[in-house]
A = this chain, B = another copy of it.
Amino acid sequence: MPKQKPTSGVFPVIMAGGSGTRFWPLSRTAKPKQFLPLATARPLIVETLARLKGLAPPKHAYVVCGAVHAPMVKKALPSLPKQNVIVEPQARNTAPAIALATAHVAHVDPQGVVIVIPSDQHVADVAAFQASLDEAIAVARGGHIVTLGIHPTRPETGYGYIQVGEPMSGNTRRVSRFAEKPDRPTAEQYLVSGEYLWNAGLFVFRADVMLEAFKKHMPELSKALEVVRGALGTKKEAATIAREFPKMPATSIDYGVAEKAENIAVVPSNCGWSDVGSFNALSEVRPLDANGNVSLGGPNFLIDSAGCVVVGQGKPIAVVGMKDVVVVDAGDAMLVMPKDKSQDVRKVVEALKAKKLTQYL
């Protein structure tokens, strides 16, 4: 579809507040997933910004993160204006973080189009991704809150889904409903039906449209947000954010706004998206050897082994006669587990906490 002439700017907002445990021992409290070079040789957050190249001027990009990670964000993204690193006073799920970023964008461009994008995902086909975003931006300019929906390729139970509704313009569809993470049979029905897309946590909207949506669907958040907006650019900004942010309900943007809004639309996309949700996912996003192994940071020796994910730190790891296992050396800690148990790495984190081995968390 042809690009509309922009009437206001486009502002990527990269969400980098995550602090998951699914990549332990590589990911730590001080260095969560988005700062790791998981899908390519560059950290996920660096790829995320690079993926938006051409959609918006570099100075329009924002990153929302926790205070402890702000220096790392600035270092990883040297093209980002330092004042565009928005620090969440505390982690309160996505709605408050998006609210804070939207306020910043509205401050400089009230009708600016915001692209909310997680910092820790991977996209194989960037051209297809940008084409989907171009369409989403155009629809957003018309007053819709637009989400990207990923064509599912397997009956995944780890994602939320979006049921598509009536066609709008181009590829864009109305949203019939947002569906929670399904059980396996439901996920299989979703896949077969062709009516469901993965919810990638990617939203495109005009700042003024989202502010209005907060007012309507999250009035408590909106009230605090309006106080923040009144203080932006003043000496009181930091103190006001510190005071008001904790008043915002710790709700996801999906639950707080997207599921309730009438003006919601979805652009289906087939862009080789992955949420890089666990070590298992490295088999999707990384090149495989002839036996389906991923081997990073070698010299690794994969002998009589297939389907494995082996991540080293420069010292040899020998994996002999193994199938579908994850072997990770982080230098100061190691992990070995079956690939399909990748989610269980949280049990290690719990055990480390229980033993107060906080230096490994």
Q: How far is the CB of A186 from chain B (nearest CB, A)?
A: 25
Chain B CB count within 10 A is highest, among A315, A318, A322, A357, for A318
Judge if A329 is at the interface, Cβ distance under 8 Å: yes
Check if B301 sits within 8 Å of A321, measured CB to CB.
no
Judge if A223 is at the interface, Cβ distance under 8 Å: no
Given A299-B355, A303-B344, are A315 and B332 neighbors across the interface (CB < 8 Å)?
A: yes
Check if B341 sits within 8 Å of A336, measured CB to CB.
no
Check if A316 sits within 8 Å of B357, measured CB to CB.
yes
Main secondary structure of the interface of A (DSSP, over half): mixed
Chain B residues positioned under 8 Å from A301 (CB to CB): 348, 351-352
Judge if A334 is at the interface, Cβ distance under 8 Å: yes
- Per the bound structure, the CA–CA distance linking A335 and B333 in Å amounts to 14
Given A299-B355, A301-B351, A351-B301, are A320 and B334 neighbors across the interface (CB < 8 Å)?
A: no
Partner of A334, one of B24, B315, B345: B315
Binding site for B on A (CB under 8 A): 24-25, 299, 301, 303-304, 312, 315-322, 325, 327, 329, 332-338, 341, 344-345, 347-348, 351-352, 355, 357, 360
Q: Kindly list 16 other residue pairs between chains A and B, CB separation below 8 angstroms, not including A316-B334, A321-B344.
A: A24-B318, A299-B355, A301-B348, A303-B348, A304-B344, A304-B347, A318-B334, A318-B345, A320-B335, A320-B341, A321-B341, A322-B325, A327-B334, A327-B336, A329-B334, A336-B336
What are 19 contact pairs spanning A and B, CB under 8 A? A24-B318, A299-B355, A303-B344, A304-B344, A315-B332, A316-B332, A316-B360, A318-B333, A318-B337, A318-B345, A318-B351, A321-B338, A322-B336, A322-B338, A325-B336, A327-B334, A329-B334, A334-B334, A336-B336
